[in-house]
Amino acid sequence: MKKNTKSGYAILFTLVIITIMMTFAMGMSNSMLKEMLLSSTASNSQTAFYQADTAGECAIYLATHNADLSLGLPINCGINTNGSPVLMNVTTTALNKYSLAPAQPSSPDPCFNIEIDKSAAPLTTVRARGYNICDQNSGGRIERGIEITF
């Protein structure tokens, strides 16, 4: 009687090939996940930067059109993507220093904050900070800032 000495090699070979393929697939999926997170972060960072840029433009407009910020009245800084006005609450922080914050600070939409310093007249300094998500408690919130002196 002839003995079969090759039994089990096909199963062992198949398991080794499957293990190699699964390791390759796990590495590729991990790489794709990291690329997606990086892409999402770049997009959110760009949104935050554009919000900061919009805030800077709003502050320059207010300063050049002599808006009376000392009254503490809400300021309209344009229209958002929904077509509703972007209202900012004004707070006087010191003599000739003002802080503008969004009227709806817990919104999931992008927003910005503005600090205007007119204390070193004739120069005005604006610090504009943009956020991809207005809600401060959000884990995915990204902030970008611009400082303008004119």
The string of pLDDT tens digits covering residues 112-145 is 999 999 888 889 999 999 999 988 888 889 999 9
CA end-to-end distance (rounded Å), the chain: 100
SS3 label, residue 47: helix
Give the pLDDT confidence score for residue 1 in this predicted structure. 57
**Which residues are paired to 113 by β-bridges?**
129
pLDDT at 3: 65
pLDDT value, residue 112: 93
Radius of gyration of the chain (CA): 28
CB 55 within 8 A of CB 128: yes
Q: CA torsion angle for 3, 5, 11, 16 (degrees, to 10)?
A: 180
CA distance 107 to 111: 8
Q: How many residues are recorded in the chain? A: 150
Give the pLDDT confidence of 1-56 residue by residue, as tens digits: 566 666 678 888 899 999 999 999 999 999 999 998 888 889 999 999 999 999 99
Q: Grade residue 104 by pLDDT with cuts at 50, 70 and 90.
A: confident
Over residues 50-101, the pLDDT tens digits come to: 999 999 999 999 888 888 888 888 889 888 877 888 889 999 988 989 999 9
Residue 27 pLDDT: 93
